[in-house]
Structure 1
């Protein structure tokens, strides 16, 4: 059922927008039979954006499920434990040093070259355009990987700080979450300071990206997300039994022969890597890593053999829905996907609060 829901949302997401494109035109564009205008809308814009949204949702669903198991706290998530904030701060620092970042600037705008020389005739002009296109593609690909590396470094530093401050209390559930909230607040303050001190033109784009968006994504931007997702998802599924044990208590895993510290560290590295990749690709999209695993446990129980797949599908559905609503609610203007996920997540937890009082 959830698979069909995600597939239906993907179809609607790729067909709706400023220029409506029907499913038939989408199929023709994917098979190379559409006219150039429809093919440009579908292949160059909406397909990468839809793909990136689904992959980011899957990543946040897996990362949230792993973090909640490791911390033994259903309120743990990448944004609450400062993982997302650390990634964004690192990207802001890298961008302040002059490295081009995807702060809602498409690769076409960020890397457009100068005019082609006309002295060599039409043949030289074509070769010049082809050469610029190839160089632009390589620069875009290098930029995507450098952004992912900077985001992972920032997330790793934030995680080390949170874990180091929470360690004296033995990683107690409440202590870990409270320390994470405090570090996230401090990191967010540094991000705001960095935005104020940098170029005002970039500050507007940074604030927009801070709200979370898949705008301007290209397939080279999506590639690192897919490559990081695959091993992370494999680890979460293959080690589902260890996730069950880690989420219980501190004694049961040791009695069953599991090295608890090593297992928790390994799962934490996986979740940090996944969360950092999501931030590098789509900015800070909150609530998904919190809502998707929480709702998955409510639907299928606490065993991660069922929680992980359901959280993956719910995360993909949440981000895809948020991106669709952000593009259509006030069209032709757009809202960030992170703003819409915040609305959805807040509504979900208000519903849980009302239901728990009955």
Structure 2
């Protein structure tokens, strides 16, 4: 018997990708429901060859589903995830609402699948921030081999991480209307995003870091190792889909670039593309639509003892959101932690 799955926020970028991933991975769902806010009532979304009409979040009966994939934002999740969990469905939430709650496991299956068992406290599991998800997939096997002391990461994050309006803004600023030197009125972003880079994602905190940068620190510590020191600079770039990261890692034990390359080639969810020649690396264009996280430019960093530098790229709508959410559901099923309702 298969499972009944509700996708909340089904009309958004990530919600639509969740539908696609469920189909592509042949998730054992007997029935899938598209759920959204009242303003999207009746809107149609694709689920494989089928077309589903969105149902109203406030009227939907969640007691008839086993799993709820939630991608409707923190404010909605804060109100609805506990209600849905209390009805018996396991909520896998893509927002930042529950990531730092001690009673809610924060999961990347390739990294800390064992922690998923903690979901029973609230019937909620959190999906990490998109920039953290791809980072820890690459860090985990290296940490197991040589123990990471410190990470310095600079991100180059696509506009899709800020939603459809952000993608529309980049498109409108680049589709032939823009002339260099011409003033552009930003809306979604604080400055022009076309042909530009903005070193500011989420709100600023008192210490001068942004909340996006803080998320990477807190989530890496929660999922991988609280002793790891991490500092981040998060930058929005004029790319539609795919986050990139330049990463410097300091280890406790010696590890060579060749050793790291071999370790990562055997790691789940990772592909190494690392030819030391023009084009011998992966960019966001190649990563878009792919499930794996790609690692390139692996090299030894002579400025610190036991140091490596590398380039990490992944589709932020997939591994950073929809794919990881579905993988968490697969982990629950694979470990016999979730039984389909009769």
TM-score, normalised with respect to structure 2: 0.28
Q: Which has the higher contact order (CA 8 A, sep 6+)?
A: 1
Give the helix-richer structure, 1 or 2: 1
TM-score when scaled to structure 1? 0.27
Structure with the higher fraction of residues in strand conformation: 2
Work out which of the two has the higher radius of gyration on C-alpha atoms and give 1 or 2: 1
